[in-house]
Structure 1
Amino acid sequence: MTALIVWIAAAAVVLLAERRPRAVLFTLAAFTFLMALFLLPFGDVNRAALFALVLALAIGGASAVKHHHSGMKLAFADIALATAGTIPFMIRQYRRTAVMTFAGAALLILAALFGAIFLAGERIDWTRRALVLATAFGAMLATYYAAGGARRFRADLHAGARFFSFFIASIIDVPSWWPTTGLRMLDVGAAPLPLAAPRPARGDIRPDIIVVQHESVFDPRLFGLPVDEKIAAFLEPEGGRSGRLHVDIYGGGSWQTEFSLLTGLSSASFGPDSYFLFKKGVGRFRHALPIELAQLGYRTMLATSCRRDFLNYDAFYAGIGVEERHFSDTYPPPFDLVGFEATNSDTDFFAATREALFRALDDDPAPRFLMALTNFNHGPHETEIIPPHLRKDARDFALAALPDRTYAEYYARLDETAESWAAFKAALAERHPGRPMLFVRYGDHQPTMTRAIEKALSIASDDPRQFETFFALEAVGFTPDFAHVPDRLDIAQLGTAALAATPLPLDAVSATRLALLPRIGPAYLASTLPEKRAFHRTLVDRRAILLEREAPALHGAPERA
C-alpha cells in the first residue's frame, strides 16, 4: 500500500511537469520503468521513486531549456551535442540561463543525496525486482506503440510541453539516434521520380548572384509590431520580391539554414546527422547552387564573419564548389579582427566583404556567386553591443512598440544592418554601374529574444511563427521574373526561386525542384507529397547525394582567397 501511494505521488508530479500531457499511459509506464531501473540497485520503492522523479524532472528541465533556445525538445540523439560544444556555447553566450540550469541541477542532486541517505524503505528481493523491471519494460513498449510510435512522437518535437515523455520515446525510437558511418536521410522514397526537362536560358544576361544571410533577423511585423521606413525598405525593397521564409531552426544552428539554401534540401531530413552536416556531409552533395553556377561559368566565393576553423566551414564549402573562401581571420588590414569579434558589426563586415569582392572582380570580371554570412544580430540581446546613446531613435521606436530592452537592442542592431547593407549596395553600384546583379537576402532563424515578444503578447512558445523569418530578392541591371516566387517559401526552395528569377538556364534537377515548389508548399520537411520523397530517391540514385558508408574523396574547389 505504501509503495502504491509513493508511486501515485511521484507520478502525479511527473504529469504536472509534463504540461498538457497527452499520451498519459505511456508517460506513466515510462516513469514506472525508471522506478524499476532504480529499484534494481537500491532495492526499496522510496528511493527508487525519488531517484526516478529526480531524473524525470532533470530531463524535463533540460528539455525546457533546449526548447526555449532552439524551439525543439531534448531528444536522446542530442546527448552527443553536449560534447560537440553546446554546453561551452551556452556558458559563453547565455550565462544567466547556464547559471540557473546548473543551480537547478545542483538542487536535484542534493535531493537525491538526501533521499539516498535518509529515505530507505523496506527492501524487495531480487526476484521481484527483476519481475517489476520486465513488466514495466513491456508496459512501456506496449503503450508507446499504442500511442502511435515513432511517427506520433516525432511530430511532437516542437510542442512546448510533454518534455519527459518525448525524451523517453526518443530512446525507444532507435533509428533516430543509432550512429552510422555514412549519412542518414529519413525521407527517401522507394521509387525514383523522373526529372523534368532542363529549362533553357531566357537570354544572354548572367547576373551576379549575391546571397546575404542576415544573422537572427526576422520581420517584427510577423508579431504585429511596427517598423519604421528604413527597416521596411530593408525587409521589402522597392521593385523586389519579399515574403515570409520558413526555416528548420530557432535560436541557433545557422549552418543548417545555409545548408538548405545551398543544396535545396531540408537539413532536418538527415535526422541526428543534421547538426553535423558540415562535417559528415563534406563531398557528399554533388548538386548544389555553387556547383550548378560554376558549370555556367560563374566564379564562386564565400565571405563569412567566423574564423576559418569554425565548424569545418572551409572543407564543406570547398566540397560544394566554392573556390574563394574568406574568413574573419583572413581579411587583410585595415580589418581589425579583435575589434570585430567584440561586436561582429555589420558595418565592418560589409566593408571587408565589399573590398574582397572588388578585388575579385578586378582580377576576373566573370559573373560571381557570393555567399555572405553575417553574425551581428546573434544573441544574447541582454548585452547592449550598441551603446544606448547610439541609434537612440531606433531604440526609442522599438521601446514604444514593446517595452522590452532586448527587443530594443535587436531593433538597434537591425537599424545598423539596414544602413550598412544600403551602403554596401550603393558602393557596388558606384564601382560597377549597370552590372547585372541579383541580391538574395534572408534571415537564418529567429533569436531567442523573441521569447520576450511571445511573453509580452501572450503568444505560445510553440507558436509555428517561431520558425519564420523573411526573404527579399532584388535585381539591378536586368529585368527579373518573379512569377515563380510566392510570398511564402521554405529555405530549401529559396535558391531555386532565385535561379528561376534570372535568365539563366536550369538543369534537370533545378527544373524539377521548380516544378515541385508550388505542390510542396512553404514547409519543405513537413510536406507529405510522395513526389518529394521520390525526388530524393532520384538524387540518391543519381549520386547527387552520397549516403554510403565510405566518405567520398573530396574534389572541392581549390583555395583562391
Structure 2
Amino acid sequence: MQVETFGGGTWITNLSLMTGLSATDFGWRSPYLTITLQDKVAGALPEVLARCGYRTVVMTPMDFSFVNEGPFLKSIGFETVLDIKDIAAPFYHLRDNFYYQAAEAFIARHHREDGRPLFLEIQTMFPHSPYEGRMEPGLKVEGEPFSGDFQANEYLRRMAVARGDFQDFLDKRQADAGERGAVVLEFGDHQSSATKPFVEAIAGDDALATPGSLAYRTFYTLTTFNHPLRHPMPDLAPLDIGFLSASLLDAAGLPMSPVMADLVRLRDHCGGRFHGCQDRAEVDAHLRRRVDSGLLHL
C-alpha cells in the first residue's frame, strides 16, 4: 500500500482512508486538511456505514482537539470520538494492548447497550518514535538485537511486540464474532523515521521527495471471521491509501455508495494509483462529480 506521509502524520493517512481523497493532491496543505476540510466532505466511509445502520466510533490516543482531527472525524460521520481522556490513558504513547483492551471494553458495552452493527477504528502508538529510549524495558523479544543501530533495533522490537498484541486482539475478535461476523482491516499509516537511512540507501537521497517511492510504502491486512469475502482484495501493488476503504467495502460485500463504487472503478482504471494515475483527467472527473453532487466543497 502507498501512503502520503513519512515518519509521522497519521491524520493525513487517516483522512485519505476515510474520505477517498489524495492528500498529495493538496500539496503543502496536506498536513492542514483536518482543519480546512472540516464540514466539507460528505459520503465518507463512516457516513456511508452510519446511513446503513452502523454505530460509528473512532478511538484515538491523542486529545480530541489534536490537529483538529476530532472535529473533522465528527464532520465526516463518526458518531463518537473516544480520545485519550475517554479511554483513561495516562499518556498518549503506550503499549498497543492498552488500546485493544480499551476497545474490548467498549465493544462489550456496545453489545450490552446497542443493537446496531459496529464500525470501530482503533489508532495505536507503540511502534511510533521517538526511539532514544527502550519502552517497556522488561519486555524481551526473541531474536534481539535485530540491528546494531539502537533506534532501528528499538523500532523492530516494538513492532514485534505490537504484532503479538494485534494477534491477541484478533483471537478475541474471532472468539466474539457472533452471527454477524467480524471484518478487521489493519493498515500501516506511515513508515517509521527509523527506516530513513535504509530507505535512502535503497531508493536514493531524494526518496522523500518522490511520492511514489519506497519511503511511502506500507501495508494492510484484511482478516474476516464468520464473514466470507465476496471476492479478494485487488491484486494491485501498491494500492494507494485513497482507494482502501472503497476496496474494503467492495471485497467484503459491505454497503456501498455511488462514490465508493466510482472509487473502485477509478482504482481499476488507474491501476491502484490515485495522485499518480497516468490518466489524470479521469481522476479530476471523479472529483468533479463529487463537487457537482454537493459531496465535496473545495
TM-score scaled by structure 1?
Answer: 0.50
| Residue 248 (structure 2) pairs with residue 498 (structure 1) | yes
Q: CA deviation at 1:382?
A: 2.5
Q: Deviations over 1:82-106 (max 9, x none)?
A: xxxxxxxxxxxxxxxxxxxxxxxxx
CA distance in 2, matches of 1:384, 1:295: 44
Secondary structure at 1:416 match in 2: helix
Alignment partner, residue 353 of structure 1: 103
Separation of aligned partners in 1, 2:256 and 2:167: 30
Gaps of 5+ in 1: 1-244, 548-561
Amino acid at match of 2:63: R
* 1:509 aligned to which of 256, 259, 268: 259
Residues 546 and 454 of structure 1, relative CA distance in 2, 3 Å threshold? closer
Shift of 1:459: 4.7
| Structure 1 pair 274–454 and aligned structure 2 pair: CA distance change class (3 A) | closer
What is the distance in 1 between the residues matched to 2:231 and 2:7?
30
Q: Which residue of 1 aligns with 2:228?
A: 479
State the secondary structure of the residue aligned to 1:282.
coil
1:272 matched to 2:28? The reply is yes
2:120 to 361, 364, 370: 370
Q: Name the counterpart of 2:206.
A: 462
Select which of 276, 289, 298 maps to 1:526: 276
Q: Secondary structure at the match of 1:440?
A: strand
Tell me the alpha carbon deviations over residues 223-278 of structure 1, each in whole angstroms, 9 at most, x when there is no partner. Answer: xxxxxxxxxxxxxxxxxxxxxx1011111111110000001110122233321111
1:438 counterpart SS class: strand
SS of 1:251's partner is: coil
Q: Distance in 2 between matches of 1:276 and 1:452?
A: 27
Structure 1 pair 459–490 and aligned structure 2 pair: CA distance change class (3 A): closer
Q: Is the 8 A contact 2:233 2:247 kept in 1?
A: yes
Query: Pick from 188, 192, 196: which aligns with 1:451?
Result: 196
Q: Who wins on radius of gyration, i.e. which is larger?
A: 1
Cα 1:348–1:504 change in 2 (3 A) is: closer
Cα distance between partner residues in 1 of 2:139 and 2:256: 46
8 Å CA contact 1:481, 1:501 repeated in 2: yes
Inter-partner Cα distance in structure 1 for 2:69 and 2:46: 15
Q: CA RMSD in A?
A: 1.8
For 2:79, the equivalent position in structure 1 comes to 323
Taking the aligned partners of 2:206 and 2:271, their CA distance within structure 1 comes to 21
Q: Is residue 394–residue 415 contact of structure 1 (8 Å, CA) maintained in 2? A: no
Q: C-alpha displacement at 1:487, in angstroms?
A: 4.2
SS in 2 for 1:381: coil
CA distance in 1, matches of 2:292, 2:202: 48
**Pair 1:447–1:247, CA change in 2 (3 A):** same
Matched, 1:304 2:49: no
Hey, what's the Cα distance between the residues in 2 that align with 1:379 and 1:326? 23
For 1:263, the aligned partner's letter is T
For the 8 Å contact 1:250–1:467, the answer to whether it is kept is: yes
- Per-residue deviation, 1:434: 4.5
Cα deviation digits, residues 149-182 of structure 1 (max 9, x gap): xxxxxxxxxxxxxxxxxxxxxxxxxxxxxxxxxx
Note if contact 1:395-1:411 (Cα within 8 Å) is conserved in structure 2: no
Deviation of 1:298 after TM superposition, in Å, equals 0.9
CA distance in 2, matches of 1:359, 1:394: 39
Deviation at 1:374, TM superposition (A): 1.2
Distance 1:411 1:394 in 2: 10
SS at match of 2:253: coil
**In structure 2, C-alpha distance between the alignment counterparts of 1:298 and 1:458, rounded to whole Å:** 44
| C-alpha deviation, 1:441, in angstroms | 0.8
- Whether contact under 8 Å (1:263, 1:285) holds in the other structure is yes
- What is the TM-score with the length of structure 2 in the denominator? 0.91
1:414-446 Cα distance to aligned partner (Å, 9 max, x none):
112111112222223334444411111110111
Contact 1:395 1:409 in 2 (8 A): no
1: CA distance, partners of 2:151 / 2:269: 39
1:428-447 correspondence to structure 2 within 5 Å: 428-447=173-192
2:210 equivalent in structure 1: none
Unaligned runs of 5+ in 2: 208-212
Equivalent pair of 1:386/1:409 in contact (CA under 8 Å): no
1:390 paired residue among 139, 146, 157: 139
Report which of the two has the higher share of helix. 1
Residues 434 and 476, structure 1, Cα contact 8 Å, conserved in 2: no
Q: 1:450-506, CA deviations, whole angstroms, 9 ceiling, x for partnerless residues?
A: 123246x55523341001000111111121033452242110010011000122342
Q: Is 2:291 aligned against 1:540?
A: yes
Distance 2:115 2:153 in 1: 42
1:51-450 alignment, distance < 5 Å: 245-331=1-87, 335=88, 337-338=89-90, 340-341=91-92, 343-387=93-137, 390-396=139-145, 398-399=146-147, 403-450=148-195
Residues of 1 paired with 2:202 and 2:286: CA distance? 41
Contact 1:377 1:410 in 2 (8 A): yes
SS state at 1:325 partner: strand
Instruction: Give the AA of the match of 1:461.
Output: D
